[in-house]
């Protein structure tokens, strides 16, 4: 079991974006002696999410008993987590965020990394592959692909900036559970307290929003078909890629996933039972699959497609 989120096992990193914002990232250090021989893992969260989402995975990936142990970094985009809000909500774009991530990598001396991107983070990974191919050595797409389902996107747009602020942590846990239990029936009841502390910041002992509420202004769905990102996905062709899909996902369809497999002959796929968009990366089965993929990808190129499996 991973260390509780209140037990600090990481180093805080603050850096300045090219337009002057104070941004935040975490570094979970690898066990002694492994930094030079294992590709670091860079964790990119979803639209309203933050670096805390990866605490369980990062703790698992830096355990000396894990044969795939390595350095893990996780970032907070501008306006999320512990990063400063942007005074201009129009800057909450993929273009600004990918530049922030690439600048962080330069600051931290990271290159040829393995990236795990949850939802929006996966879109950033695909964009990185087109902008700076050498920055990536392997990619894990967590419930995201080049085609985004309208139904799921409408659900997300509806809640961004509209979730009420709970009065205390007991209310926060109940709120997070009630909003998400249909998408995540497999999550044990006792996990919702920790998940609430991932999804809300804390000030003076009380929960506060963990993302700038103006973020909702920056996302909109235009009439007509949502543009696909097949060219960006095709830029991953040279890399080992693992695609995670929540069994109940309304963002990544099985049809899109099969199209991804047809276009990337080495694509590996993991279905996560009892979870929707996006898998929370808290269960041991998923994290073991990620660790195994990373260990093999450290020395490998694209391999033959694997069979579909469920965690």
Q: Average pLDDT of 15-39? A: 91
Closest C-alpha to 118, from 182, 219, 24, 43? 43
Domain 11-161+211-310 carries which CATH code?
A: 3.40.50.1820
Largest Cα separation within the chain, whole Å, is 53
**How does residue 35 score in pLDDT terms, banded at 50, 70 and 90?**
low
Average pLDDT of the chain?
Answer: 92
The tokens for 248 are 């109940």
Q: Residue 22 pLDDT > 70, yes or no?
A: yes
CA angle, residues 186, 161, 243, in degrees to nearest 5: 40
Query: Which residues lie below 8 Å from residue 29, measured CB to CB, with a gap of 6+?
Result: 10, 11, 35, 62, 71
Query: Residue written as tokens 């991107």?
Result: 117
Helix (H, G, I), strand (E, B) or coil at 34: coil
pTM: 0.93
Q: Please report, for residues 24, 70, 196, 223, 225, the alpha-carbon distance to residue 139 in angstroms, rounded to integers and kept in the order given.
A: 22, 15, 27, 31, 27
**Of 44-48, 148-152, 216-220, minimum mean pLDDT range:** 216-220
Domain positions in the chain are: 11-161+211-310
- pLDDT(308) > 90: no
Region 17-32: what's the mean pLDDT?
96
Give me the pLDDT at residue 303, please: 38
pLDDT per residue over 169-185, tens digit each?
999 999 999 999 999 99
């Amino acid at each position: 079991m991973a260390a509780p989120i209140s037990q600090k096992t990481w180093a805080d990193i603050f850096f300045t974006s090219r337009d002057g914002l104070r941004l935040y990232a975490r570094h979970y250090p690898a066990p002694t002696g492994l930094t030079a021989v294992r590709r670091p893992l860079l964790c990119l969260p979803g639209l309203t999410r933050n670096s805390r989402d990866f605490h369980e995975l990062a703790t698992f990936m830096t355990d000396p008993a894990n044969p795939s142990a390595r350095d893990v970094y996780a970032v907070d985009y501008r306006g999320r987590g512990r990063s400063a809000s942007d005074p201009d909500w129009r800057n909450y774009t993929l273009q600004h965020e990918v530049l922030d991530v690439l600048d962080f990598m330069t600051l931290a001396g990271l290159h040829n990394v393995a990236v795990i991107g949850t939802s929006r983070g996966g879109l950033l990974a695909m964009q990185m592959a087109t902008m700076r191919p050498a920055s990536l050595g392997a990619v894990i797409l967590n419930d995201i692909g080049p085609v985004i389902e309208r139904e799921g996107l409408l659900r997300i747009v509806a809640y961004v900036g509209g979730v009420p602020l709970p009065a205390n942590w007991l209310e926060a846990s109940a709120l997070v559970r009630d909003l998400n239990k249909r998408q995540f029936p497999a999550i044990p009841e006792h996990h919702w307290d920790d998940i609430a502390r991932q999804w809300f910041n804390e000030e003076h002992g009380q929960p506060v929003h963990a993302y700038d509420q103006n973020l909702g202004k920056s996302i909109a769905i235009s009439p007509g078909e949502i543009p696909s990102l097949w060219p960006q996905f095709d830029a991953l062709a040279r890399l080992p890629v693992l695609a995670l899909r929540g069994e109940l996902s309304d963002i990544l369809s099985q049809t899109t996933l099969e199209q991804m497999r047809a276009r990337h002959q080495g694509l590996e796929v993991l279905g996560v039972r009892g979870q929707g968009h996006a898998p929370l990366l808290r269960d041991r089965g998923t994290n073991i699959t990620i660790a195994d993929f990373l260990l093999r990808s450290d020395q490998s190129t694209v391999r033959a497609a694997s069979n579909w499996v469920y965690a």
